Structure 1
């Protein structure tokens, strides 16, 4: 008999290593500002994102760097506009002449159960990511999977999965995540219809983000990451055991006559692990303005550039909203990062009808996005008092410095593609009043 991690008497804790960041001087750098002389006072004073902007303008941030870049290299400007840049029709293709980035002339043939939605980079050069969806209703029997290309971060959305690894077993339920690192063999048992998301990174491993001025405690704590207890099976398989290997984006299989889960004991710091998202210690704004989503980072896979992630796993958990004089939902935004949003349960607060659990949205590099009209109008006039945000909800984001391409399957084969998504911003209306003047206190 085996004991999986929610039944065993004790649990080993994962050894998490922190990389010591370079110590930068906290210089403020150069800051410029301007306002149209026809609208004096149109630049808000004292904060970036007031609940209602002067002249009825919209606040929008343009980021030229990742949120977490060190201060000397952090680039962003706030724009106060008559209408936000989300208010446009869908992009249409133009003739590009000899301009191309078609590195994949041959379309991959995805196997049933795991479908690639989008990604970027290259497995051969060990620099890139892939985002997949999985659906299954049958357990793996006498077969296991091995990813030679990178790490899998698995986010179950429906149904629990029992993952058998060479290190032992992990039961992973919705609202939990697990990471199977490169080269680790694993098999999956399911107990009904099951689906979820997978973030794959090539060339880096996930780690806890640096906390900086947050200090020693906060976000995801190392002690809450759990590793399996060693478990083995000494089993011969006369009909053959199949080991499936993902290598340079292709699948290969080999046969053997025994179970690969025959590890009796192990030690080290390179293991599979799981984490319950309810254990995340939320850091949030308690005065004014809307903090960047980087404060919700659970795990990061760093790139070679300081403060820039190959991929971040970010969650939007239940929390309190208390900021004063502030438009509390996410602000209108264009970003040098790609943002893939997913939903495990509930309704995402910035677009309550935007997508359902199990769905997702991709906001590509520098594509504007933000709250829909109903959310904007409601939040601009709301009585600001402490309130619970996202109760019963768990949304997440895979954020990446790569500019991701959507696969043919994601665009054409999936029959639930929402081609009218842009229409959620169509009703946004002008609030601009050139005669507005600040009220006298």
Structure 2
């Protein structure tokens, strides 16, 4: 199946729900394409090739093992030689050494509109990150701005998985596993090594991307919360199998150890007819997040808003946390309700998908973002502090904004292009000026 944009949209909207986050899932575009009882029989059904895609080491514990069996028209091994792309554009990769890590608080306006004909891959712009892609540790923060669909080319990332957060315009993601539709207010995850193409559902698209070099994202443990709350496994949607059987040149771009490599196939590699496994793309509606919070006093720590986490080798210090500040009620009594002033060992990049953020009065807009590196002091601006300190503490619904955070245990080093960008706000520190002394001995 190929083309047929309207049919593609309908297929994407018919996504299957994961039976449990990280559990086995399956789909077939043609009845009988999935073998019964064997992963790799002597002859696969319908003349297909059986191929295993591994997203983890073979010997990982069962609960962490990520792999999928793909039944495809041609095996992935049948491809021409890859060559180094002439230019990575504005895409950068760890280690980030272009500029020193900056302890100052930084904030950017949205990316400027791109040149006509810019697709998702060409529109990727790296803000910064940490770690080392070759050592599978750390993360990178990218933004994207596009006004054209990817045509006759696909992309895959060998360095990490891609967590995509649309802010403007819907995306139709054609993956090896089938179709995913992600609109603003949702997030999509493309696992390491999975090939995909991005088609725009609107005239323009803009958003955020977290490239996770480390362990795959998983649901956080609930601990004392118990069995329910936060993001529910049943709300994550996997694609319905859909394949392309096209005999036309297709450029395949692979990000490998920080560089883009390219090869031109004589067919589309999105030719998987059926699949089953645990290394699977998915979409999640951020409005489905079951927010838990204080119903007596105090503002809860942002950890309570964690959707997904990439654990590190140190318990309690994630390689990356993905946090969402979804609509919620504030009912705490005798409490300063906005986020409190703090310094944090974790580094925080925050973005805004829609509306306004309750800790900032102005300057923080959808498509923009702020970076508060480890131990940099931050919190509500002066206007928010003054207003919240005198507000009547009646129950209040926060439903006019949707913000998120990429939080990481390591400092985030901005790229040279981000540190010198025209859309970097020069007066961000001013929002805390005028916080007056109120102390009386």
Alignment TM class, shorter chain as reference? 0.7 to 0.9
Deviation, 1:112, is: 3.6
- Whether the 8 Å CA contact 1:14–1:269 is kept in 2: the answer is no
Q: 1:26 — aligned with what?
A: none
Matched with 1:90 is none
What's the offset of the Cα at 1:16?
A: 1.8
Of the three residues 227, 231, 234, the one matched with 2:238 is 227
* Residues 61-95 of structure 1, C-alpha deviations (whole Å, 9 max, x = no match): xxxxxxxxxxxxxxxxxxxxxxxxxxxxxxxxxxx
Tell me whether 1:428 sits opposite 2:435 in the alignment: yes
Change in Cα spacing, 1:106 to 1:257, as seen in structure 2 (3 Å) is farther
Task: Show the 5 A alignment for 1:41-440.
Answer: 104=97, 112-190=122-200, 191-237=202-248, 240-389=249-398, 391-412=399-420, 414-434=421-441
Partner-residue secondary structure (3-state), 2:370: strand
Deviations 1:381-405 (A, max 9, x none): 111111112x221011110001110
CA distance in 2, matches of 1:7, 1:272: 12
Q: CA RMSD in A?
A: 2.1
Tell me how far 1:4 sits from its aligned partner: 4.5
Residues 10 and 17 from structure 1, CA distance in 2 versus in 1: closer, same or farther, beyond 3 angstroms? Answer: closer
Residues 6, 230 of structure 1: alpha-carbon distance in 2 compared, 3 angstrom cutoff: closer
Deviation readout 1:30-57 (Å, 9 max, x if unpaired): xxxxxxxxxxxxxxxxxxxxxxxxxxxx
- The alpha carbon displacement at 1:148 in A equals 0.3
Distance change in 2, residues 1:193/1:126 (3 Å): same
Q: Deviations over 1:87-122 (max 9, x none)?
A: xxxxxxxxxxxxxx9974699xx9741111010010
Q: If the length of structure 1 is used for normalisation, what is the TM-score?
A: 0.75
The answer (yes or no) to whether the contact 1:123–1:202 under 8 Å persists in 2 is yes
Segments of structure 1 that go 5 or more residues without pairing to the other structure are: 19-100, 435-441
CA shift in 2, pair 1:366/1:261, >3 Å:
same
Q: CA deviation at 1:128?
A: 1.1
Secondary structure, counterpart of 2:245 in structure 1: coil
Q: Residue 118 and residue 7 in structure 1: after superposition, are their counterparts in 2 closer, same or farther (change >3 A)?
A: closer
Structure 1 runs, 4 residues or longer, greater than 4 Å off: 1-10
Contact in 2 for aligned 1:5/1:171 (Cα 8 Å): no
Within 2, Cα distance between the matches of 1:111 and 1:4? 21
Residues 344 and 358, structure 1, Cα contact 8 Å, conserved in 2: yes
The Cα offsets for residues 411-436 of structure 1, whole Å up to 9 and x where unpaired, read as 11x211111111111110011011xx
The whole-number CA distance in structure 2 between the counterparts of 1:184 and 1:258 is 17
Contact preservation (8 Å) 1:14, 1:226: no
The answer to whether the Cα contact below 8 Å between 1:175 and 1:276 also exists between their aligned partners in 2 is yes
- Retained in 2: the 8 A contact 1:151–1:179? yes
Bigger shift: residues 8-17 or 307-316: 8-17
The 8 Å contact of residues 334 and 366 in structure 1, kept in 2 or not, is answered as yes
- Please state whether the residue corresponding to 2:384 is helix, strand or coil: helix
